[in-house]
């Protein structure tokens, strides 16, 4: 069962404080590799837009949307469960969880292969069927990967995982560009995605000790995992509706080329999320979980101390991209993609607020309040169900984009309430974060306006 907040745990302050300090060094590596990934992805995107057509990006965008939907609706919370659980280092315990993980991956692969024609028909894009079926192999490959990568995070090896991910990103990019030069179609991106998954699975068995996995069954362990995962599953199912409603609506309203522009905007606007999600899940969450186990009275100070500097830099950078979206698109892409700038500015609002909301939700999970973390998703769902129809009715398709861009605002308010109830909330810390977003947006807008005035050919 999930540990209750009432359980008394030993307090080893020195060890937890060393862990907090260690988080700072991990943050530096994560920041560098995230910037590196961003540079690689941006360079790859610039090259691919010159080798491929908007229709190709539309195909990949639809596949990415389907994959997100399938992943979220079947998300069982393997990483959170293993990082938090006291038995995660036991061989038999891990084998039981890996067996569930592998069965899930195999089942999803087969289901998508069989269902790909129907999914393509639902999008009214029959050309998507075959690429979707081929890309589904990713679920099988990822499903049989070793859980050693998750266990490494439990043991403060986020730096090593960040470096592995950066190497894999470079590998995928090189494969994609070489294949795009040869094939000149969406298959180059799909083949590179499959190759990257295969490489990651291979490395999961080669780089860490005791990474071999075996099929095992234990009703008690499986039952405990189900108790934990039911809240994650419910939250993820709601996140499916939240994350895909805009794509389902716009996928029908937009042409394939227009949807390709939206996919490009999503690529730009969600790029900072790689840092936000990785930082919170790989560095902050293990620290929160261990602090709760060893020094719960220090949780309030630890919460903001761990996130303060990374969140401040993140807020200013997101604000800057929000304000300078037109310049960013002009520099990165040719004039065919200029219309994506408006999408980027709107979507960046949600991206900017994502980090503090994810941090608050993970704090709730670390302290055993998994149901409250699910409530954050419920707040987002209510917003989507109300705001997207209203936005579409009043403003048309751009209203749908605006609704998605503002999705984290009501979630932020809810998170503040929960942090206050947990005696963790600090208004000046939250106000500083929002001020930095606004400052970055203002500076970004001024820079973009002046640059486009001086260099109108951009």
Q: Mind listing the pLDDT tens digit for each residue in 122-169?
A: 887 888 889 999 999 999 999 888 888 888 877 777 777 878 888 888
| Residue position matching structure tokens 């590596």 | 29
pLDDT at residue 150, rounded to an integer: 82
pLDDT at residue 267, rounded to an integer: 81
Contact between residue 166 and residue 37 where contact means Cβ atoms under 8 Å apart: yes
pLDDT at residue 30, rounded to an integer: 67
Contact between residue 284 and residue 306 where contact means Cβ atoms under 8 Å apart: yes
Compute the distance between CA of residue 132 and CA of residue 122 in angstroms, rounded to an integer: 13
10 Å Cβ neighbour count for 452? 15
pLDDT at residue 15, rounded to an integer: 47
pLDDT at residue 369, rounded to an integer: 81
Q: Which residues contact 73 (CB under 8 A, 6 or more apart)?
A: 236, 237, 240
pLDDT at residue 372, rounded to an integer: 84
pLDDT at residue 25, rounded to an integer: 58
pLDDT at residue 288, rounded to an integer: 85
- Could you tell me the sign of the dihedral formed by the alpha carbons of 340, 345, 348, 349, in that order? negative
Q: For helices 427-454 and 325-332, give the axis angle rounded to 10 degrees.
A: 50
pTM as predicted: 0.66
Sequence ranges of the domains in the chain:
13-454
Q: What is the 3-state secondary structure (H, E, C) of the chain?
A: CCCCCCCCCCCCHHHHHHHHHHHHHHHHHHHHHHHHHHHHHHHHHHHHHHHCCHHHHHHHHHHHHHHHHHHHHCCCCHHHHHHHCCCCCCHHHHHHHHHHHHHHHHHHHHHHHHHHHHHHHHCCCHHHHHHHHHHCHHHHHHHCCCCHHHHHHHCCCHHHHHHHHHHHHHHHHHHHHHHHHHHCCCHHHHHHHHHHHHHHHHHHHHCCCCCCCCCCCCHHHHHHHHHHHHHHHHHHHHHHHHHHHHHHHHHHHCCHHHHHHHHHHHHHHCCCHHHHHHHHHHHHHHHHHHHHHHCHHHHHHHHHHHHHHHHHHHHHHHHHHHHCHHHHHHHHCCHHHCCHHHHHHHHHHHHHHHHHHHHHHHHHHHCCCHHHHHHHHHHHHHHHHHHHHHHHHHHCHHHHHHHHHCCHHHHHHHHHHHHHHCCCCCHHHHHHHHHHHHHHHHHHHHHHHHHHHHCCCC
Give the residue ranges of the chain where pLDDT is below 50: 1-24
Q: Mind listing the pLDDT tens digit for each residue in 62-78?
A: 888 888 878 877 878 78
């Amino acid at each position: 069962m999930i540990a209750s907040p009432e359980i008394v745990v030993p307090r080893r302050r020195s060890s937890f404080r060393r862990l907090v300090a260690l988080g700072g060094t991990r943050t530096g590596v994560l920041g560098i590799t995230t910037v590196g990934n961003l540079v690689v992805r941006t360079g790859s995107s610039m090259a691919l837009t010159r080798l491929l057509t908007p229709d190709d990006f539309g195909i990949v965008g639809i596949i990415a949307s389907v994959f997100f939907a399938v992943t979220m609706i079947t998300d069982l919370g393997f990483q959170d469960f293993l990082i938090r659980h006291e038995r995660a280092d036991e061989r038999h315990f891990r084998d039981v969880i890996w067996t569930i993980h592998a069965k899930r991956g195999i089942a999803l692969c087969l289901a998508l292969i069989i269902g790909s024609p129907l999914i393509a028909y639902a999008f009214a894009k029959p050309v998507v069927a075959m690429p979707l079926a081929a890309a589904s192999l990713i679920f099988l490959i990822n499903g049989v990967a070793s859980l050693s990568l998750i266990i490494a995070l439990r043991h403060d090896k986020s730096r090593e995982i960040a470096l592995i991910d950066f190497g894999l990103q470079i590998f995928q990019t090189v494969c994609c560009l070489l294949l795009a030069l040869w094939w000149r179609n969406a298959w180059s991106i799909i083949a590179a995605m499959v190759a990257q998954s295969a490489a990651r699975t291979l490395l999961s068995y080669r780089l860490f000790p005791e990474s071999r996995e075996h099929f095992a069954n234990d009703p008690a362990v499986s039952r405990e995992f189900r108790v934990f995962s039911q809240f994650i599953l419910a939250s993820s199912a709601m996140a499916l509706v939240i994350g895909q409603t805009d794509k389902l609506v716009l996928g029908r309203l937009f042409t394939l080329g227009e949807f390709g522009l939206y996919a490009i905007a999503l690529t730009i606007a969600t790029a900072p999320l790689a840092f936000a999600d990785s930082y919170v899940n790989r560095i902050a969450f293990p620290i929160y979980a261990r602090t709760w186990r060893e020094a719960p009275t220090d949780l309030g100070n630890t919460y903001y101390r761990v996130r303060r500097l990374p969140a401040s830099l993140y807020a200013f950078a997101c604000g800057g991209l929000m304000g300078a979206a037109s310049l960013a698109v002009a520099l990165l892409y040719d004039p065919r993609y200029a219309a994506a700038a408006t999408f980027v500015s709107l979507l960046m609002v949600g991206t900017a607020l994502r980090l503090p909301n994810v941090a608050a939700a993970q704090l709730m999970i670390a302290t055993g309040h998994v149901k409250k973390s699910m409530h954050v998703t419920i707040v987002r769902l209510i917003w989507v169900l109300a705001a997207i129809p209203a936005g579409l009715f009043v403003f048309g398709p751009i209203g749908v984009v605006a609704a998605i861009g503002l999705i984290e605002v009501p979630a932020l308010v809810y998170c503040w309430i929960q942090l206050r109830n947990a005696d963790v909330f600090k208004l000046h810390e939250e106000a500083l974060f929002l001020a930095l977003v606004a400052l970055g947006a203002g500076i970004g807008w001024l820079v973009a306006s002046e640059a486009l005035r001086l260099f109108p050919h951009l």
